[in-house]
Amino acid sequence: MAHHAPRPPSTRSALADPVTAAPRPRWYRCTTALAALAAFAVVLAGGATAAHAEPTVAEIERQIDEDWNKLEPVIERHNATRQDLAARRKQADALAAQIGPLEKQVDQAMAGAEGPNSYDCSGLMLAAWAKAGVSLPHNAAQQRRATATVSRGELRPGDLVFYYSDLHHVGMYVGGGWVVHASRAGVPIKMKKVDDGPIHSYGRPG
């Protein structure tokens, strides 16, 4: 019987057989896991984007209506305030136009006079405000009761400044810390600093 030389061992199973293939390195397994997580995150992100879809035209219009309903009262209050300020400014301008000629007038102040040639203190206030369509009594104390109280910080042209505890004198504030007044009999109508005398209070006609 013939003898044959033994065959060399086969390497096929070690190279190609998946069952006996060498395990993957650890870094490869980590990379694969990270890739899977990244893919999952992309899927989640896509879902989130879909959940926040662009609003419809009806939704936009409804939101605009809601915002306007909140804003409209504010606009109306602003318009009312602006109109009120415009009316007050117009009244102040009318008073200023009347105060100018009175300041320049050289007529002497006379007790109990209310113009047009002579004035006492309350008569001057009466005449000036009458030009603006506002009636005042011919007495400083009565004018104080007939006018709304304002503070020093609220003073504006046309407001009345009352002097002395018994309210026997009144002048008209013309701005810049000055008043126009008829001081006493025999003295022309003139300007003076508002603090030139013991102030009792301030009043606003109208």
Show which residues are catalytic. 121, 169, 181
Residue 161 is inside which H or E element, if any?
A: strand 160-163
- 57-104 and 121-131 are packed helices; what angle lies between their axes, rounded to 10 degrees? 140
3 state DSSP class of 19: coil
3 state DSSP class of 192: strand
Q: What is the dihedral angle through the alpha carbons of 141, 145, 148, 149, rounded to the nearest 10 degrees?
A: 60
Q: Do the strands 169-175 and 148-149 form a parallel or antiparallel pair, or are they unpaired? A: unpaired
How many CB atoms are located within 10 Å of the residue 179 CB? 24
Q: Buried b / exposed e across 112-139, counting CB within 10 Å, b at 16+? A: ebbbeebbbbbbbbbbbbeebebebeeb
Report which residue type is found at 90.
K
